[in-house]
Chain A
């Protein structure tokens, strides 16, 4: 069956460290994978997209990698700050380019 798994429901790290979140998928062949941030009671906010032919993408303190052989994406936040505390969702296209499936998310807590 098709599945998207994000490494853990919750991740606690110390301020200033690098947070690494994992998204693994099974029985999908996505053309792209996206990462979103969601704060409590709010809609998700788009952060980064990476295509199947790209290995890595960066945006300020964020970095995403995409390994289609391992069927895995890693999302890194360097020099993490308490303001980075949120739930992070990965999403991939699951049917053509328009149908999107989300993982259940990882709740990141950055401790001062």
Chain B
């Protein structure tokens, strides 16, 4: 089944403890992206990647890191999480169709930082 998977789905952690949220897609998509979703603010793009070893900042990259060493994986790293990073996180992937991107979203990771 074609899908985007994220792990973990739920995570409660403490301030400053490094964590990684994994994202994997089995559709051979070139483009992958991370978003956070907060009430009243909607979905905001954190980072995106056009292909292996090519990443760029979205609208809210502060406090996050990403890497794209393999086409299928795009992990999101929080080196020193803070309570304002408590949010619902979505990973998405997209095939390249001309110059636009129809995104397939994962199920989400609910992160709580205390």
* A interface list, Cβ under 8 A from B: 31-32, 34, 36, 41-46, 49, 51, 89, 91, 93-94, 97-105
Chain B contact residue count (CB 8 A cutoff): 27
In Å, the complex CA distance between A99 and B31 comes to 11
Q: How far is the CB of A34 from chain B (nearest CB, A)?
A: 7
Let me know if B105 and A101 touch, CB within 8 A: no
The answer to whether A46 and B45 touch (CB under 8 A), given A98-B31, A99-B58, is no
Which listed residue, A43, A93, A99, touches B92 by the CB 8 Å rule?
A43
Q: Do B90 and A100 touch across chains, with their CB atoms under 8 A apart?
A: no
**Distance of A32 Cα from B99 Cα, bound (Å):** 9
- Cβ contacts under 8 Å, A91 to chain B: 43
Q: Cα distance A99–B103 when bound, in Å?
A: 12
| A45 adjacent to B105 (CB under 8 Å) | yes
Determine how close the nearest CB of chain B comes to the CB of A50; give it in whole angstroms. 10
- B40 contacts which chain A residues (CB < 8 A)? 104
Do residues A99 and B107 form an inter-chain contact, with CB atoms below 8 A? no
Nearest B residue (CB) for A4: B42
B42: min CB distance to chain A, Å? 4
Chain B contact residues, CB within 8 Å of chain A: 4, 31, 33, 35, 40-45, 48, 50, 56, 58-59, 90, 92, 99-108
Instruction: List the 6 closest pairs (A to B, CB-CB), nearest first.
Output: A43-B105, A104-B42, A102-B43, A97-B99, A32-B100, A46-B102
How far apart sit A97 and B44, CA to CA, in the bound complex (Å)? 16
**Across the interface, which residues of A come within 8 angstroms of B104, CB to CB?**
46
A85 vs chain B, min Cβ distance (A): 19
Query: Do B48 and A46 have beta carbons less than 8 Å apart?
Result: no
Given the interface pairs A101-B45, A101-B59, the reply to whether A44 lies near B90 with Cβ below 8 Å is yes
* Inter-subunit contact B43/A49 (CB<8 Å): no
